C-alpha cells in the first residue's frame, strides 16, 4: 500500500495548505498586513505577506498525524520546534522589522541547537566519490552551522518574485531526496520530510504564482530555508529517519522494504562511495551563487550585505525584457538543469564524471555574474541583433488551414484517449482508484478556487490526472472481440501517441515565436515530473510500466499544453472530460465497478 501512503503524505499537506491559505488571506486583509509597493520591489499593489502560515499549518498537521501513527525520532520534533522559533522570528519581522544583527544571532543560535541536539555535524568532506577528508569536530560543526544559516538567508534573499522561492525550494528538495535515496536506499526521509514539504509548497504556489495573491513573508522564507538546510545536512551525512511502525497503519512493510540496510531500489550504488559536496551544492546552486555574488557586490560598494537592492539574478532577467512568469520559469529550468548535472557522479558511478559538478558550478557562477553587466545599451544592442528571429508576417492561408486541421485532429484524439482509457482498463487496482479520486478532488477544488492565470498548480493537477488515467490501463493488454476473435489494440493505442507527438511538433514549428524559447512554470513542470516519477521504487515501477507512462504523459500533456496555449476555451472542455474519466476509473478501482461487454 505504498502508493496510498504516498498519496496521503503528499495530498493531505497540499489540500490543508490550499484550505488554510485563504483563511490567512482574509486575516491579513482584515488587519491590513500588506507588503506595500516601493521602488526596489517588483509588485505594484499591496499584497499580504503571511503565506508562510498556511505552509506551516499544513506541514505541522501532517507531522502530528504521522507522530500519532509512528514512533518518530525525537530529532524530528527538535527540527519542528526550532523551525517554529525561526518562523516566529520572521513573522515578527514581517510585522515590525528586526535589526539584521538580531536576526542573524537568532539564526545562529537555532543552527547550533539543531546541530548539537540532532548530531548533524559534518564529519566528512568529499571532493569526489572516491576522495574525501575527515573533518575535526569543531570545523564540521561550524560548516554545518554555516550551511543552515546560509540556506535561511539565501531563500530569504531570493524571495523577490512571485513563485520564485517556493519553486526553487521544491526543485532543491526533489533533487536532494533523489540523492538521499540513491546513496542510502532509504525512503523514510522522502516519506516523512520531503514529500510533505513538496505538498505544502505546491499548495502555496496555488496562491503565490504570478500574479501572487499572497507572499510567504520573512516567516515563511526563514522556515522554508531552515527546512532546506536540514535536508542538506541529512543528505550530506546520509542520515536515515528512524521511524518505527505503530498499530496496523501498514508502515511495518514499508519500514522492512526501505530499511537503511536495504539495497537501493533505483540503481545499484556502492554505499561506501562518498557523496561529493559539490553535487549537493548544485541542488540549490542559484540561491547560493546569487546570494554570494550579491553580498560580494554590496560589500565592494561599501554597503551592508543585508541592504536590499535590485542586483539579484531575477532582476537582471527582468531588465532583459522578460515578464515575471518568464523569469521564474527560466530560473526553474536553469536550476533543474544544473542540479541534474550535479547528480551525474551518483547516477553513473561506473563513469568518471567527477569533474562535471565543478564545471557546472563554474558555468552557473559565470552566467549569474555576467548578468550583472546588463545595462540599457546592452539591451538595445541585443534587441537590434535579435529582431530577425521574431516572426513578423502572419501565417499563410494554406498553412493556417493545415494548422487548424492538425489542432482539430489533436483535440479529438485527446478526447478519445482520455475517455477511451477507462473502458479498456479491465480490473483497476485499488491504489489507482484512490489516486483517481484524489486527482478528481484536486480538479474540483481548483474549479472552486478558480483564478485567471494558468499557474503551476493547475498544470500539476492536469498532469496528475493524465498520469493516473494512463496508469489505469497500462497493466493490461487492450483487447476487443472482432468476429468472435480477440484483437489486440495496443499498437493502435501507441500509434495515437506517435501521431500526437508528430502533429504537436509540426504545430509548434509552424506557429513558432521567440517568446516560446522562454519557459513558463507550466512548461518547466513537464521537465521535472519525469524525474519525480522515476523515484517510484520497484516493484511498483515495473508493475505500472512507469517508463512508458512517463513518455506517454509527456506527449499527451505537451499536446494539451500547445493546444490550450492557442485555444484557451479547450482547457475547460478537457477538464470536463478528465472529471468524467477520473470518476469512472475511481469508481472501478474503489467500488469494483466493471464494464459488461
pLDDT on residue 265: 37
pLDDT on residue 295: 87
Q: Cβ distance 342 to 277 under 8 Å?
A: no
Assess whether pLDDT exceeds 50 at residue 267.
Answer: no
pTM of the model: 0.73
**pLDDT, greater one: 284 or 45:** 284
Assess whether pLDDT exceeds 90 at residue 150.
Answer: yes
Assess whether pLDDT exceeds 70 at residue 479.
Answer: no
**pLDDT, greater one: 7 or 179:** 179
Assess whether pLDDT exceeds 80 at residue 540.
Answer: no
Rg (CA), the chain: 25
Across 122-131, 465-474, 558-567, the highest mean pLDDT is recorded for 122-131
Kindly report which listed range (84-93, 123-132, 532-541, 557-566) carries the lowest average pLDDT score.
Answer: 532-541
DSSP secondary-structure letter at 460? H
- pLDDT tens by residue, 230-255: 999 999 887 765 543 443 333 333 34
- pLDDT tens by residue, 9-23: 888 898 899 889 888
pLDDT on residue 224: 94
Assess whether pLDDT exceeds 90 at residue 160.
Answer: no
Assess whether pLDDT exceeds 60 at residue 291.
Answer: yes
- pLDDT tens by residue, 490-518: 667 778 888 888 888 888 777 655 444 44
Nearest CA-CA partner of 496 in 514, 470, 524, 464: 470
Assess whether pLDDT exceeds 70 at residue 318.
Answer: yes
116 exposure class (CB count in 10 Å sphere: 0-12, 13-18, 19+): middle
Per-residue pLDDT band for 2 (boundaries 50, 70, 90) equals low
pLDDT on residue 25: 86
- The long-range contacts involving 75-79, CB below 8 angstroms and separated by at least 24 positions, are 75/117, 75/118, 75/119, 75/241, 76/192, 76/193, 76/241, 78/113, 78/114, 78/117, 78/118, 79/114, 79/118, 79/227, 79/230
Q: Cβ distance 298 to 304 under 8 Å?
A: yes
Sign of CA dihedral 170, 176, 179, 181: negative
**pLDDT, greater one: 450 or 295:** 295
Amino acid at each position: 500500500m505504498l502508493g496510498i501512503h504516498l498519496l496521503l503524505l503528499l495530498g493531505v499537506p497540499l489540500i490543508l495548505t490550499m484550505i488554510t491559505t485563504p483563511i490567512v488571506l482574509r486575516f491579513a486583509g482584515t488587519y491590513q498586513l500588506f507588503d506595500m509597493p516601493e521602488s526596489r520591489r517588483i509588485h505594484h499593489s499591496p499584497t499580504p505577506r503571511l503565506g508562510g502560515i498556511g505552509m506551516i499549518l499544513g506541514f505541522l498537521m501532517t507531522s502530528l498525524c504521522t507522530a500519532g501513527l509512528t514512533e518518530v525520532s525525537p530529532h524530528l520534533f527538535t527540527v519542528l520546534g526550532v523551525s517554529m522559533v525561526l518562523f516566529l522570528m520572521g513573522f515578527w519581522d514581517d510585522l515590525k522589522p528586526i535589526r539584521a544583527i538580531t536576526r542573524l544571532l537568532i539564526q545562529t543560535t537555532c543552527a547550533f541547537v539543531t546541530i548539537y541536539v540532532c548530531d548533524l555535524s559534518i564529519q566528512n568532506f568529499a571532493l569526489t566519490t572516491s576522495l574525501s577528508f575527515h573533518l575535526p569536530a569543531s570545523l564540521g560543526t561550524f560548516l554545518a552551522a554555516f550551511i543552515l544559516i546560509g540556506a535561511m538567508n539565501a531563500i530569504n534573499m531570493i524571495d523577490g518574485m512571485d513563485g520564485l522561492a517556493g519553486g526553487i525550494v521544491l526543485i532543491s528538495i526533489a533533487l536532494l531526496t533523489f540523492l538521499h535515496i540513491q546513496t542510502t536506499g532509504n525512503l523514510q526521509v522522502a516519506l516523512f520530510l520531503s514529500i510533505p514539504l513538496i505538498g505544502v509548497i505546491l499548495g502555496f504556489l496555488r496562491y503565490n504564482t504570478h500574479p501572487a495573491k499572497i507572499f510567504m513573508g520573512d516567516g515563511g522564507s526563514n522556515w522554508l530555508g531552515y527546512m532546506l538546510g536540514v535536508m542538506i545536512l541529512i543528505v550530506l551525512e546520509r542520515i536515515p529517519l528512524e521511524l518505527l511502525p505503530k498499530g496496523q497503519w501498514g508502515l511495518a512493510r514499508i519500514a522492512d522494504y526501505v530499511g537503511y540496510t536495504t539495497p537501493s531500489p533505483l540503481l545499484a550504488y556502492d554505499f561506501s562511495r562518498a557523496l561529493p559536496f559539490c553535487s549537493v551544492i548544485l541542488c540549490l546552486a542559484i540561491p547560493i551563487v546569487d546570494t554570494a555574488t550579491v553580498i560580494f557586490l554590496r560589500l565592494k560598494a561599501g554597503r551592508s550585505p543585508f541592504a536590499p537592492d535590485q542586483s539579484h539574478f531575477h532582476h537582471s532577467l527582468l531588465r532583459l525584457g522578460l515578464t515575471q512568469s518568464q523569469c521564474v520559469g527560466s530560473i526553474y529550468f536553469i536550476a533543474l538543469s544544473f542540479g541534474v548535472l550535479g547528480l551525474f557522479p551518483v547516477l553513473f558511478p561506473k563513469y568518471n564524471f567527477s569533474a562535471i559538478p565543478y564545471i557546472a558550478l563554474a558555468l552557473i557562477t559565470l552566467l549569474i555574474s555576467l548578468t550583472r553587466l546588463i545595462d540599457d545599451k546592452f539591451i538595445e544592442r541585443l534587441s537590434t541583433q535579435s529582431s530577425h528571429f521574431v516572426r513578423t508576417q502572419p501565417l499563410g492561408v494554406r498553412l493556417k488551414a493545415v494548422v487548424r486541421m492538425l489542432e482539430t485532429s489533436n483535440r479529438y484524439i485527446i478526447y478519445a484517449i482520455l475517455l477511451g482509457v477507462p473502458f479498456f482498463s479491465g480490473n483497476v487496482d485499488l491504489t489507482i482508484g484512490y489516486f483517481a479520486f484524489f486527482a478528481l478532488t484536486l480538479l474540483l477544488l481548483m474549479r472552486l478556487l478558480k483564478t485567471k492565470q494558468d499557474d503551476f498548480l493547475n498544470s500539476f493537477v492536469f498532469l496528475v490526472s493524465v498520469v493516473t488515467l494512463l496508469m489505469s490501463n497500462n497493466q493490461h493488454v487492450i483487447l476487443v472481440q472482432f468476429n468472435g476473435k480477440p484483437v489486440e489494440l495496443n499498437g493502435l493505442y501507441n500509434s495515437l501517441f506517435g501521431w500526437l507527438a508528430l502533429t504537436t511538433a509540426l504545430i509548434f514549428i509552424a506557429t513558432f515565436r521567440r517568446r516560446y524559447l522562454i519557459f513558463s512554470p507550466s512548461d518547466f513542470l513537464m521537465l521535472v515530473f519525469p524525474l519525480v516519477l522515476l523515484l517510484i521504487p520497484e516493484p511498483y515501477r515495473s508493475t505500472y510500466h512507469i517508463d512508458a507512462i512517463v513518455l506517454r504523459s509527456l506527449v499527451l500533456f505537451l499536446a494539451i499544453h500547445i493546444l490550450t496555449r492557442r485555444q484557451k476555451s479547450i482547457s475547460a472542455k478537457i477538464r470536463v472530460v478528465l472529471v468524467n474519466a477520473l470518476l469512472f476509473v475511481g469508481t472501478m478501482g474503489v467500488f469494483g465497478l466493471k464494464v459488461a461487454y
